[in-house]
Amino acid sequence: MFFCCGSCGTGIAHRDKLAASFTSPDDPGIKIHHFDEIKNVVIGGPSTEVAALSQDMVVAADINCVTCNNLLGWKFLHFNSIPIETINQIVLVPAELKLWNGTEMVDATTI
């Protein structure tokens, strides 16, 4: 099983590279997947769109699909007052992904 871009189907990450899933601290309706490794993406420079997370300043780089440029998530580069192990974490939004289960593409938000 592997995760794919929800827009074009490009392979992004194997299921076994999913390190954790959690709910956004700012919006309980948003689920986030933390990956150890991803592929077929472009990681850009610091994004200005992610300005605050749980009242903390965040610097993050956009992660886009290499094929269609769909925004899939972010790589966190800097947090104020958050533990150092958080830096360089890769998080993708399941709503922007599909999951290939071996026979068909399914909604990645169910994981």
SS3 assignment, position 8: coil
Q: What is the pTM of this model?
A: 0.80
Query: Above pLDDT 70, what percent of the chain?
Result: 76
- Per-residue pLDDT at 54 exceeds 50: no
Answer whether residue 103 shows pLDDT above 90. yes
How confident is the prediction for the chain on average, in pLDDT? 81
- As beta bridge partners, residue 18 has 35
Among 25-29, 85-89, 90-94, the minimum mean pLDDT is found in 85-89
Quick one: pLDDT band at residue 52, thresholds 50, 70, 90?
A: very low
Q: Does domain 18-94 have CATH number 2.170.150.20?
A: yes
Domain boundaries, the chain: 18-94
Is the CB of residue 100 less than 8 Å from the CB of residue 4? yes
